[in-house]
Chain A
Amino acid sequence: MNTKRNIKAMLAVFTALFVLLAGYLVYIIGAYGPYWFASPYNTRVTNQKNTVWAGSILDRNGVVLAYTNADGEREYAAEESLRLATAHVIGDNSGQTLGAEALFAKYLLGFEQSIGEQLSYLVSGEQRRGKDVSLTIDSALCTYASSLLDGNDGAIFLMNYKTGEVLACTANPAFDPARMSEYTTGEYALAEGSMVNRATMGRYTPGSTFKIITTIAALRYLPNVEERAFNCDGPLVFEKESGKLVSGVNPYDEEGELYSKYVLLRDHEDAVHGTLTLAEAFAVSCNHVFAEIALEIGEEKLRQTAESLGFNGTFLFDELVAYAGSFGEAQTDFALAWSGVGQHTDILTPIHLCLITSAIANDGVAMEPKLLLQVSGTSTSAPVADFVPEAYQTLLKGNEAEFLASCMRGVVEHGTGTQAAVSGYSVCGKTGTAEISSAENALSHAWFTGYVDSEAFPYAITVIVERAGGGGTIAAPIAAKVLEYAIVCSQ
């Protein structure tokens, strides 16, 4: 009978709908739950502070960064430099930032305590406390890294590329979590943008560090590109009106109609690199070659490559809030050429660049950046949440990662990033000098991203110093010092 058959079909539909309900509930809470819970709007967290004393936040070596004192007040580390260097990771007690105070409130404020545990507090009459949380960061390393920024705005992010442990995450300007009330009363002034963690949420023009992405696209779409000989013979010339690449115009003829009709894509200090391979072009960061590669690949494929590396997407990490980079439209040759060398509308965040770098270091697999090392036990329960590394995504194929690694080794050995070298270790990296203003003598953002090629010290680092100058001269030496310090510290 048809009706019976239809009823059975509808039962299948109902079943599918209810399974969808359950599946969606799991998905949405799995993906967004931690953020919703930590949201400053979630007054459950603030209310819980009235009855529960928050646990301490420690760094990986047991240094106490935040604790609740005997009067039930929240206190932070005594040294101001330490508070500022770790401010964004720790967060604040008033729920204005998404640091550990908010993201790990579940443990700190005892939301996960069982009814049995809660009853034992009730019975003993003891003040209910949340658990202590140990973070993966090394606070001394953070303080040292922050001091190297030397008062400049910028950020430094260092993670273990084999486990995803974040060892350093520091950003300038920073707020002081111990002075939140003084900021509201106006006693202390808060520098603009201090509440934003630039290491994870700072959206910057990537400059030449984007050539990593262009290189990956070249490997994917241009066969045998590794063996090709490129020729850099000076600036590329584009028509001003249409943005089309033109040939036969002398880019040095400044007398004629050059500047009225054409626009140029120059290399750093107008260098002419001559004939070079892709790896050599990468080492000297040749704009000419990478602009040509971008034009040859085309906008769509360059975008696809960028998106496969996380651009225009969302990062849903469990333990930290991070923005992904973005790759905008490039409708003319001129725009696409600049896109290929990390200008135009390209955007990257330091953590995103560090994630791509760590994938190169780790055979193409990006580990999920993690901040939570351990949650302590209390008198009635055992420690929970011991650190378990998790792969986030395989961003590159093994051979892609291998080629990129050799390119990046060249940068530090004989290219633009020689100042990033750490004696006794093999460092691979890429510099970037992002032009953010066309004004005369305006300083660029200085970038360096790289890693130590070492089993014992698998560290990937990304440094950005805002409006400070060249990546090779400003950012690379800072990266070298931080890596050296990290190696010494963990020995």
Chain B
Amino acid sequence: MRKLRHARCASALGVVLLFILAAFSLLAFHEGSFDAGALLFGGVVLLTVLLSYCLLACFAAHADRLLMLIVCFLYALGMVMQYRISPETALHQLIMLGIGLVGMLLMLILMRKPRIFRILSIPMALLSLGILAALLFVGKESGGARNWISIGGILFQPSEFVKVALVFLLADALTDHTHVKDLLPILLFVMVAISLLVLQRDLGAAMLLAGVFLLVFFVATSNIRATLAAMLLGGAGAYASYLLFDHVRARIAIWQDPWATYSTSGYQIAQGLMAIASGGLWGLGLGLGSPKMIPAYHTDYIFAVICEEFGIVFGIGVIMLYLLLVVRGVLISLNAQDRFSMLAAFGATALLAVQTFVIIGGVIKLIPLTGITMPFVSYGGSSMIACMLLVGILEGIAAQSGTLLEDALIRAADETLSAAQEDATEMECEEDAQ
């Protein structure tokens, strides 16, 4: 059975490699002249995919290869789009991907001993809040949000890593306690973190944190009343911020009718919608769209660029791939061998699911737009590394529960075998006696 499954994964791997090959070959001839750099870059991406797939298979025999393949396809798609938009930023993103993959492997190994993260929960929480608070003073502003920090000349977005910490903190707190009064510390953490993010005007991250908290809280406690109360509280907070802050009101107005304020605030959404509409069903073709007309084309709006050049059918395929990723994540969570792993896996999955829904939903005008990245595809080092860490968590748990399951099976098989042997010897004895 397992061989068959892996065989299917191998052919899917072939499709991913073919996609990379085709896309970068096309990009090499894009400007009418031959660009050897595109082929070279494509080769590196191709090797990265192969390497990440094989390393995973080596390090952890029971890791979820399909999940890894989806992630490989998504980051490869990201690399294609980034290179098509600007080879320089693509190179930067490739380096970040490399760091992310190392992080993923590290996480994979660390997850063999999940206890480490439980012991580290208090330092992790304090560090997260500390950085978020420090951002208020030393943070750099970009795109209206004061959520960047510069360490040694490299810009980081700490909120991305706070999300990963949240996954562990929630799992840790909710493993042992399910009563609200025992959960005050984690509640306090989440509320302070969200407040700090709102103060930095990083509404996307605040929304994400709140969403993931609610999901994991509900799943672990089955406390519908408290969940609904928290949702009402969140709704009231959102409404209050709608009344209090101009920029929130403006955002809702843009969402309702981006064309009314086309020349000013509605420009981005309108441009994104026109890009998707211009692509039609099958797209204008890779390299033939005009992505740079949309603000944030390589980060938040990458989905619009993908739809413009690859078409809506491909866009829906991408959405379905994310769904498949979420399904795999949930399966890993359901198969986890202990409660902490189960909640951590669910938290990581929920984070990826909510983030994907919020950004794609914002781009296609289903919900108001909040600036966050599209996992694995958008440009952004912190986001790429954080998403890879989440994959590391999921794969680590999958590998761990697979190993435990296998051990249990072997033990059970041994027992049956020895029992059978005993039976056999007994029978022999009986036969002898006769």
Q: Enumerate chain A interface residues (CB-CB to B < 8 A).
A: 2-4, 6-8, 10-11, 14-15, 17-22, 24-26, 28-29, 32-37, 39, 41-44, 47, 106, 111-112, 114-115, 118, 122
Partner of B334 from the list A7, A33, A43, A44 (CB cut-off 8 Å) is: A7
Contacts of B323 in A (CB 8 A): 14-15, 18-19
Contacts of B270 in A (CB 8 A): 36, 41
Q: Is B49 an interface residue (CB 8 A)?
A: no
Docked complex: B277-308 residues within 8 A CB-CB of A: 277-278, 280, 284-285, 288-290, 293, 307
Partner of A24 from the list B32, B343, B366 (CB cut-off 8 Å) is: B366
Taking the nearest CB of chain A, how far is it from the CB of B29, in angstroms?
Answer: 9
From known contacts A2-B222, A7-B219, A41-B270, infer whether A29 and B360 are also in contact, taking CB-CB under 8 Å: no
Q: Is B315 an interface residue (CB 8 A)?
A: yes
10 further interface pairs, Cβ-Cβ under 8 Å (given A21-B366, A44-B290): A6-B220, A14-B353, A15-B323, A25-B364, A36-B274, A37-B277, A42-B277, A44-B289, A47-B290, A111-B278
Q: Enumerate chain B interface residues (CB-CB to A < 8 A).
A: 32, 215, 218-220, 222, 259, 262, 270-271, 273-278, 280, 284-285, 288-290, 293, 307, 312, 315-316, 319-320, 322-323, 326-327, 330, 333-334, 339, 342-343, 346, 350, 353, 356-357, 360-361, 364-366
Check B316 against A26 for contact (C-beta < 8 Å).
Answer: yes
Taking the nearest CB of chain B, how far is it from the CB of A112, in angstroms?
Answer: 7
Check A8 against B334 for contact (C-beta < 8 Å).
Answer: yes
The secondary-structure label for the interface of chain B is: helix
Taking the nearest CB of chain B, how far is it from the CB of A29, in angstroms?
Answer: 6
Check A33 against B280 for contact (C-beta < 8 Å).
Answer: yes
Check A22 against B222 for contact (C-beta < 8 Å).
Answer: no
Check A29 against B276 for contact (C-beta < 8 Å).
Answer: yes
Taking the nearest CB of chain A, how far is it from the CB of B161, in angstroms?
Answer: 24
Contacts of B288 in A (CB 8 A): 115, 118
Residue on A nearest B331 in the bound complex, by CB: A11
Residue on B nearest A106 in the bound complex, by CB: B280
What are 26 A-B residue pairs whose CB atoms fall within 8 Å in the complex? Answer: A4-B334, A6-B219, A10-B218, A11-B330, A14-B326, A14-B330, A15-B323, A17-B353, A18-B319, A18-B322, A18-B326, A18-B353, A18-B357, A19-B323, A22-B320, A24-B366, A25-B307, A25-B312, A28-B365, A34-B277, A36-B276, A41-B270, A42-B278, A44-B275, A106-B280, A111-B278
Check A3 against B219 for contact (C-beta < 8 Å).
Answer: yes
Partner of B280 from the list A35, A41, A42, A112 (CB cut-off 8 Å) is: A112
Check A20 against B330 for contact (C-beta < 8 Å).
Answer: no
Residue on A nearest B315 in the bound complex, by CB: A25
**Alpha-carbon distance A37/B293, docked complex (angstroms):** 14
Taking the nearest CB of chain B, how far is it from the CB of A28, in angstroms?
Answer: 6
Check B364 against A21 for contact (C-beta < 8 Å).
Answer: yes
**Alpha-carbon distance A41/B266, docked complex (angstroms):** 12
From known contacts A11-B326, A111-B278, A111-B280, infer whether A22 and B333 are also in contact, taking CB-CB under 8 Å: no
Q: Which 4 A-B pairs have the closest CB atoms?
A: A36-B277, A18-B323, A33-B277, A6-B219
Taking the nearest CB of chain A, how far is it from the CB of B377, in angstroms?
Answer: 15
Partner of B319 from the list A2, A4, A22 (CB cut-off 8 Å) is: A22
Contacts of B333 in A (CB 8 A): 7
Residue on A nearest B270 in the bound complex, by CB: A41
